[in-house]
A = this chain, B = another copy of it.
């Protein structure tokens, strides 16, 4: 039974989006009882690391490898629902810092429990070692250095 030919076998971009769709569904199904999507959980978890001071949107976007305006839009449902708040920066009037509200922190903690289940399933299905290796490779692809190397690579001549 031959697998049908697919672009993803040749195109890394297609392959990664396809896998992201699959993983998105699998993780979402597990953490859905918390009322959060996987993307929201990721974002809130990253914000949580900043603690009470919060983190300015610009560096947050960079850490997430996300466009700044996309981050702003993605935050809207979260601020609307009172899970995240944007606070002014003391020093720089342009800056807004994202911070979890008490409700948001509780929600994130709740989702964290479910996430552990999802991640454990992934490790079980994929192998814990390959899982860590995969994250390391994905981390490389996501790095500014990789982007630089990609852009600098010589086009076909």
Tell me the complex Cα distance, A86–B49, Å.
48
A16:B138 contact, CB within 8 angstroms = yes
**In the complex, A124 has a CB within 8 A of chain B:** yes
A residues contacting the other copy or chain, number (CB 8 A): 66
Tell me the complex Cα distance, A124–B38, Å.
32
B153:A120 contact, CB within 8 angstroms = yes
Nearest CB in chain B to that of A145: its residue = B125
Q: Provide the residues of chain B in CB contact with A46, threshold 8 Å.
A: 6-7
| Interface SS majority for chain A | helix
Tell me the complex Cα distance, A116–B153, Å.
13
A119 to chain B, nearest CB (A): 6
Partner pick for A17 among B39, B49, B155, CB 8 A cutoff: B39
Tell me the complex Cα distance, A139–B11, Å.
11
With A7-B42, A20-B20 known, 18 other A-B pairs at CB within 8 A are A12-B135, A13-B26, A13-B38, A16-B19, A16-B20, A18-B64, A19-B139, A19-B142, A21-B66, A22-B65, A22-B147, A26-B150, A117-B155, A117-B156, A120-B156, A121-B151, A125-B149, A130-B137
